[in-house]
């Protein structure tokens, strides 16, 4: 089982690593880059919200902060468009963490559903600020330095940077899950008052998790800004982003490692594909319907998400197989006497 599992992870790694060599259509490569960014963001979101049970719906505040950090720093440092801009990706992540400290300090004072609403409210403060301030360029947004790579391999460097971010997010998520800190987050999810009673310093633990999860989301936003070359406040501070990464995690399996990866892969690639294919006309709205309906179907039939449902089914099957073989062994043993 363990070998099968690590084999599958390795297979996934190889497939993702080789994908740009097989897929040469720039439109599809672009879809792949954005999908990787979303998988990374959903994984990072899940690392806090999935483990602690605090569903944050304002993560676009961090995504947008990362995007604006990239755009503003690249312009102010007069960077040449090109690979040197990739160094600003972690800067975007750090800026998002910096912003997450006061946001978390305010939002984490309240519990669960009030927390959800207050994260939405704080997100809108960010969006409106970006629209109204002058240095953010208002609704016109900001242009980034032009990246002069040829069309035949333009997306490839982006792809591998996004892939690196995804691996970082996944490894971080695993490490947190296996650490004492991760157990404390899970204890908060199960029963915060009991965790407090047992000596978990709940507020610092929650705040640390919240701020950590902002890092990858900020990096995702920074990379996305560089890929687009132009950002607008309503697209990087996007309420749909907030809900999309949460839906991805729930779709695949809330609080599991594989869940947000699967959810991000399926939902984002589908959404991007729909957007590219039906970019004109009223069919552009079709993906909203498909996206929403698909999520509803999954959540009604597999309330724990796909990964958990499949795992339960697998465990049950294995248990039944074990029982059957035990029974037949017993029957054989009985027959030999």
Partner 1 sequence: MNSTALIHAIIDGVLTGSVYALMATGLTLIFGVMDIINVAQGILVILGAYLSYALSAHFGIDLFVGLAITIPTLFVVGIVVERLFLARLKGPERTAMSILVTYAISLVIEGALNMIFSVNPVQLHAWYVNQSFGIFGIYIAYIYVFGFLLAAGLLAALYVMLYRTRFGASIRASLADQTAAALIGIDVKRVATICFGIGVAVTAAGGMVYGATNTFNASTSYDLISRLLVIIVLGGMGSLGGALLAGILMVTLEDIVAVAWSPVWSQISFFVVLVIVLSLRPQGLFGKQSARVA
| Residues near partner 1 (CB under 8 A) | 53, 55, 57, 106, 109-114, 116-118, 120-122, 124-125, 128-129, 132, 192-193, 239, 243, 246-247, 250, 254, 282-289, 291-293, 295-296, 299-300, 303
Q: Looking at beta carbons only, is 44 or 227 nearer to partner 1? A: 44
Encode burial over 194-222: b for 16+ CB neighbours within 10 A, e otherwise: ebeeeebebeebbbbbbbbbbbbbbbbbb
> What number of other Cβ atoms are within 10 A of residue 36's Cβ?
28
Least separation in angstroms between residue 62's CB and partner 1 is: 17
d(CA 187, CA 54): 12
Least separation in angstroms between residue 118's CB and partner 1 is: 6
- 245, 38 Cβ separation under 8 angstroms: yes
The DSSP annotation for 112-149 comes to HHHHHHHHHHHHHHHHHHHHH-TTTTGGG-EE------
Q: Collapsing DSSP states into helix, strand and coil, what is residue 26?
A: helix
d(CA 125, CA 118): 11
Least separation in angstroms between residue 36's CB and partner 1 is: 23
Q: Looking at beta carbons only, is 110 or 309 nearer to partner 1? A: 110
d(CA 206, CA 213): 11
- 149, 157 Cβ separation under 8 angstroms: yes
Q: Looking at beta carbons only, is 120 or 223 nearer to partner 1? A: 120
- Report phi then psi at 20, rounded to 5: -65, -20
Q: Looking at beta carbons only, is 246 or 257 nearer to partner 1? A: 246
Q: Looking at beta carbons only, is 118 or 261 nearer to partner 1? A: 118
Q: Looking at beta carbons only, is 140 or 284 nearer to partner 1? A: 284
Least separation in angstroms between residue 166's CB and partner 1 is: 23
Nearest to 207 by CA among 88, 127, 92, 115: 115
Least separation in angstroms between residue 241's CB and partner 1 is: 12
d(CA 195, CA 187): 6
Least separation in angstroms between residue 4's CB and partner 1 is: 30
- Report phi then psi at 230, rounded to 5: -155, 130
Least separation in angstroms between residue 302's CB and partner 1 is: 12
d(CA 235, CA 127): 10
H-type alpha helices, 253-337: 258-277, 286-301, 306-336
- Report phi then psi at 93, rounded to 5: -65, -45
Least separation in angstroms between residue 127's CB and partner 1 is: 10
Q: Looking at beta carbons only, is 18 or 121 nearer to partner 1? A: 121
Q: Looking at beta carbons only, is 32 or 57 nearer to partner 1? A: 57
Q: Dihedral angle at the C-alpha atoms of 170, 175, 177, 180, nearest 10 degrees?
A: -160
Least separation in angstroms between residue 54's CB and partner 1 is: 9
Q: Looking at beta carbons only, is 158 or 291 nearer to partner 1? A: 291
């Amino acid at each position: 089982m363990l070998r099968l599992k690590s084999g599958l992870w390795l297979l996934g790694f190889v497939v993702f690593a080789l994908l740009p060599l097989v897929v040469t259509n720039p439109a599809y490569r672009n879809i792949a880059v954005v999908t990787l960014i979303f998988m990374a963001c959903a994984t990072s979101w899940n690392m806090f919200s999935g483990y602690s049970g605090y569903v944050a719906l304002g993560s676009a505040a961090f995504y947008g902060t990362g995007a604006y950090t990239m755009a503003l720093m690249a312009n102010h440092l007069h960077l040449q468009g090109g690979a040197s801009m990739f160094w600003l990706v972690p800067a975007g992540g750090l800026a998002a963490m910096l912003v997450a400290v006061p946001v978390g300090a305010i939002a984490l004072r309240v519990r669960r559903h009030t927390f959800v609403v207050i994260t939405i409210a704080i997100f809108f403060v960010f969006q409106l600020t970006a629209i109204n301030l002058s240095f953010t360029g208002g609704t016109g947004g900001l242009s980034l330095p032009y990246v002069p790579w040829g069309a035949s391999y333009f997306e490839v460097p982006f792809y591998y940077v996004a892939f690196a971010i995804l691996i970082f997010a996944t490894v971080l998520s695993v490490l947190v899950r296996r650490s004492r800190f991760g157990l404390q987050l899970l204890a908060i999810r199960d029963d915060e008052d009991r965790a407090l009673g047992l000596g978990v310093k709940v507020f610092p633990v929650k705040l640390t998790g919240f701020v950590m999860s902002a890092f990858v989301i900020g990096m995702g936003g920074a990379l996305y800004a560089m890929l687009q070359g132009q950002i607008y406040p309503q697209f990087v501070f996007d309420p749909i982003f907030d809900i999309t990464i949460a839906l991805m995690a729930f779709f695949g399996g809330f609080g599991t490692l594989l869940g947000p990866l699967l959810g991000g892969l399926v939902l984002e690639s589908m959404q991007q594909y729909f957007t590219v294919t039906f970019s004109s006309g009223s069919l552009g709205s079709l993906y909203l319907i498909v996206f929403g309906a698909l999520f509803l179907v999954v959540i009604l039939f597999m309330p724990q998400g796909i990964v958990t449902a499949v795992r339960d089914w697998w465990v049950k099957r294995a248990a039944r197989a074990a029982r059957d073989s035990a029974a037949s062994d017993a029957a054989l043993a009985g027959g030999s006497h």
